[in-house]
Amino acid sequence: MRGLDGKPPKLSRPAGVSSIPEESPNSEANSYLPGLRSKCWTKDSGAGSQGSNMPDAKTSDSERTKNLFRHDRWCRLWIYNYGLLVKPLYALITEGSRDLQWTKEATQAFDQLKKALMSAPALGLPNVSKPFFLFSHEKQGIALGILAQNLGPYRRAVAYLSKQLDTAAKGWPGCLRAVAAVAINIQEARKFTLGQKMTVLVSHTMSAVLEAKGGHWLSPQRFLKYQAILVEQDDVEIVVTNIVNPASFLSESTGEPVIHDCLETIEATYSSRPDLKDTPLEDADTWFTDGSSYVVSGRRHAGYAVTTSREVIESGPLPTNTSAQKAEIIALIRALELAKGKEINIYTDSRYAFGVVHAHGAIWKERGLLNSQGKSIKHAQEILRLLDAIQLPERVAVMHIKAHQKVSSELEEGNVLADREAKEAAKGEVPDKAVVRQH
């Protein structure tokens, strides 16, 4: 691969490498792909010299281990599963202690990393005149990928990709983590493909997961970003395959279309009850819930209401320290408790309450009421009560309805009534035990 001047063309720096140390020898050569490979695998840094110069796990301190990382990050594209390999080591050095406390897992990872650095890679140079194949996989919060091209009857790898998902993405369901991993891998692979057609092979139905469930976990900005990367690019074709392990992609056929149903898996795993619906049930009663919290003359008032489209079922004031989110959750709890043994459709204009029962609540409970950052969630006791209450109806559907719509319909009339009654209930006095009005 030569440029117009006869020199090897400059290529993008590998993912995860911030800069070349000023004291690094042959820094100009490191800008080129052949030079980069020679830095990792030439005679001067081959098995003999690397084996003698590499730090030992039992004697190396924090700085020497970090220096090893600075070296191998240049070679990470040719180390399969690099992100998984170094994960225990990064956890070790981020503790901040100079005297590292080596665990068995970290020692094994250290030895495996040294072996990988002393092994010759089997990678070809990317040929931008030929189409690419990107095999994507997510494991333990790390996006893993192999970028390959056809070489005769075989597929030859041209890069191994590995990059950590961000903290928020690590807390998503497995199928959505796979979506995030594909988006990351496509962005990294484009540094090599330079606009050439790329076929991405995955084990999840990307578009269906993104469209149907993305709104529960993704911010609007992230949703649009993923949609642009996965759906709206002419050079990317996504193919669903039943092969999960990227290591097998290069030696086996792509297999039959995958049977795994991402949407059913997410609903069964992360919904607060397996048969919970987000579309109305037929021949079921329809109720509306709302919570209100506002300040008048420096004093907070809070209340909730459960209504039909025409009459109030229950309403009442809440303690003065009740936030709007908490009031919405309490309103939904009371509706579910009152609907015990019934078939019921419940509408709420709270995205938060809707997300708790359909997306986040079950996994929060499994984590011990901690979010993806490991911090305690707000309104923990009310959320536990809500997860218990959702089991009470015979059949239940919880739907989200937009607040304050001007469209005249039975649904909007019910939502307006619930909103008005919640505000009215908030004006009442709250004794030691909140008074509720049942109608």
* Positive or negative: CA dihedral 32, 35, 41, 44: negative
Q: How far apart are CA 185 and CA 133, in angstroms?
A: 11
pLDDT tens for residues 368-415? Answer: 666 656 667 788 888 889 888 989 999 999 999 887 666 568 888 899
Task: Say whether pTM exceeds 0.85.
Answer: no
User: Residue 334 — very low, low, confident or very high, per pLDDT cuts 50/70/90?
Assistant: very high
* Residue 147, beta-bridge partner list: 134, 159
CA-CA distance, 312 to 327, in Å (whole number)?
Answer: 17
For residue 168, the model assigns a pLDDT of 79
Per-residue pLDDT, 403: 72
406 with 283: CB under 8 angstroms?
A: no
**pLDDT at residue 110, as a whole number:** 84
* Cα distance between residue 206 and residue 417, in whole Å: 40
| 12 secondary structure, DSSP code | P
- In whole numbers, what is the pLDDT of the chain averaged over residues? 74
Average pLDDT score over residue span 312-327: 92
> For the residues 141-148, what does the mean pLDDT come to?
88
Q: Best-predicted range by mean pLDDT among 50-59, 140-149, 203-212, 249-258?
A: 140-149
- How far is Cα 210 from Cα 232, in angstroms, rounded to an integer? 13
Q: Which residues contact 340 (CB under 8 A, 6 or more apart)?
A: 392, 393
CA distance 347 to 289: 6
Domains of the chain: 29-117 (no CATH), 132-269 (3.10.20.370), 285-438 (3.30.420.10)
Predicted confidence band of residue 19 (pLDDT cuts 50, 70, 90): very low
**pLDDT value of position 399:** 92
179 pLDDT higher than 80: yes
**Do 366 and 308 meet the contact criterion of CB atoms below 8 Å apart?**
no
Chain centroid, CA 110 distance in Å = 28
CA atoms within 13 A on the CB side of 347: 23
